[in-house]
């Protein structure tokens, strides 16, 4: 290969020209770098032929996309594409094409990616123009989780929690996203209840940690833990309480349970005995989950 491939993954709205992408492709071509223009990584179909093309081109490449590097890397790995050492830049972080090219050159000088000058003929004052190879296919907006396998411990919480059958377990209880397009668009709930912060929704706009921003991870709080036990109807392993029940008022002065976030009994029950509880109506969250369950069951 004469030089590094510059792979530009398009914006989420491919029908609208994107000035930043067009500028990056033009400047990279003029520098003699070969470019590959592809649709938005996240929206490409599961069986797209472009995944196999990427597997052959990423060894000596820079990937420019509209995703944070961590979810982009694990999205590639989801499709059995090795991404170790791959340089990934989030186009959202750049104001113009010149700043993108400068970042590529700076990383080359630091040794963090293949030197872009590799394709320049000996003795030439200017590089020969590179190529732009467009790979196009029809895509549609998608919403599904991406698992960071370096953090996942296969606890099964996402599988137990999900209403829509997105996750499956194999024979060794390994969790995988098997039915991504069954995910409810806009729902990041499984990311909020994952105890390892291993689940990302890269298009989530309101929480950088859920979107997989560098150095940011979802912090599991009492509300998230309670949401998990409310949805699954599992008893809390620490205090023994279940959804729809709480300690009686006389016993609720013991603070909040560190696991499920519910008020815990002031005195721990005897070994083997269930905590003293009285039924109470579901709170708003429980009621919402109940209605989602009912809607799912009514689907054809």
pLDDT digits (tens, 9 = 90+) for 72-107: 999 999 999 987 778 999 999 999 999 999 999 887
pLDDT reading at 172 higher than 90: no
Residue 211: Cβ-neighbour burial (10 angstroms; 0-12, 13-18, 19+)? buried
Residues 144 and 159: their CA atoms lie apart, in Å, by 14
Determine the pLDDT at residue 127: 67
Domain boundaries, the chain: 5-134, 146-298
What is the DSSP pairing of strand 245-247 with strand 277-279?
antiparallel
pLDDT reading at 40 higher than 80: yes
97 contacts 26 by C-beta, under 8 angstroms: yes
Residues 216 and 227: their CA atoms lie apart, in Å, by 22
Cβ contacts of 226-233, under 8 Å, gap ≥ 24: 226/260, 226/261, 226/262, 226/285, 227/189, 227/192, 227/193, 227/285, 227/289, 228/157, 228/160, 228/161, 228/193, 229/260, 230/282, 230/285, 230/286, 230/289, 231/161, 231/163, 231/289, 232/160, 232/161
Per-residue pLDDT, averaged over 274-291, amounts to 46
Residue 60: half-sphere exposure toward Cβ, Cα within 13 Å: 13
Query: What is the tens place of the pLDDT at every residue in 190-246?
Result: 999 999 999 999 999 999 999 999 999 998 887 888 888 888 888 888 888 776 655
pLDDT reading at 150 higher than 60: yes
Chain-wide mean pLDDT for the chain? Answer: 81
Q: How far is CA 269 from CA 5, 17, 232, 276, 293, in A?
A: 64, 65, 23, 8, 33
Q: Which residue has the tokens 């060794």?
A: 172
Determine the pLDDT at residue 294: 52
Neighbours of 74 (CB within 10 A): 21
252 contacts 246 by C-beta, under 8 angstroms: yes
pLDDT reading at 269 higher than 60: no
- 300 pLDDT tier (thresholds 50, 70, 90): very low
143 contacts 185 by C-beta, under 8 angstroms: yes
Per-residue pLDDT, averaged over 125-147, amounts to 89
């Amino acid at each position: 290969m004469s030089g590094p491939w510059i792979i530009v993954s398009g914006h989420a709205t491919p029908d609208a020209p994107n000035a930043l992408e067009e500028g990056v492709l033009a400047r990279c071509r003029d520098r003699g770098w070969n470019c590959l223009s592809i649709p938005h990584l996240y929206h490409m179909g599961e069986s797209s032929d472009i995944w196999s093309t990427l597997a052959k081109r990423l060894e000596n490449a820079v990937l420019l996309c509209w995703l944070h590097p961590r979810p982009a890397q694990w999205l590639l790995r989801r499709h059995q594409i090795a991404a170790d050492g791959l340089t990934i830049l989030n186009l959202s972080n750049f104001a113009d094409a010149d700043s993108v090219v400068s970042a590529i050159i700076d990383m080359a000088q630091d040794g963090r990616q293949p030197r872009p000058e590799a394709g320049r003929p000996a003795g030439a004052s200017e590089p020969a123009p590179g190529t732009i190879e467009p790979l196009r296919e029809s895509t549609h907006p998608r919403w599904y989780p991406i698992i960071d396998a370096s953090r996942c411990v296969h606890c099964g919480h996402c599988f137990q929690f999900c209403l829509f059958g997105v996750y499956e377990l194999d024979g060794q209880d390994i969790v995988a996203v098997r039915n991504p397009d069954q995910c409810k668009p806009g729902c990041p709930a499984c990311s909020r209840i994952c105890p390892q912060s291993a689940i990302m929704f890269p298009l989530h706009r309101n929480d950088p940690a859920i979107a997989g921003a560098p150095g940011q991870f979802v912090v599991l709080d009492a509300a998230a833990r309670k949401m998990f036990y409310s949805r699954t109807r599992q008893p809390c392993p620490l205090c023994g309480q279940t959804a729809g029940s709480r300690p009686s008022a006389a016993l609720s002065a013991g603070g909040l349970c560190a696991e499920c976030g519910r008020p815990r009994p002031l005195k721990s029950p005897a070994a083997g005995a269930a905590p003293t509880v009285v039924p109470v109506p579901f709170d708003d969250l429980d009621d919402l989950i109940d209605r989602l369950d009912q809607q799912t069951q009514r689907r054809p």
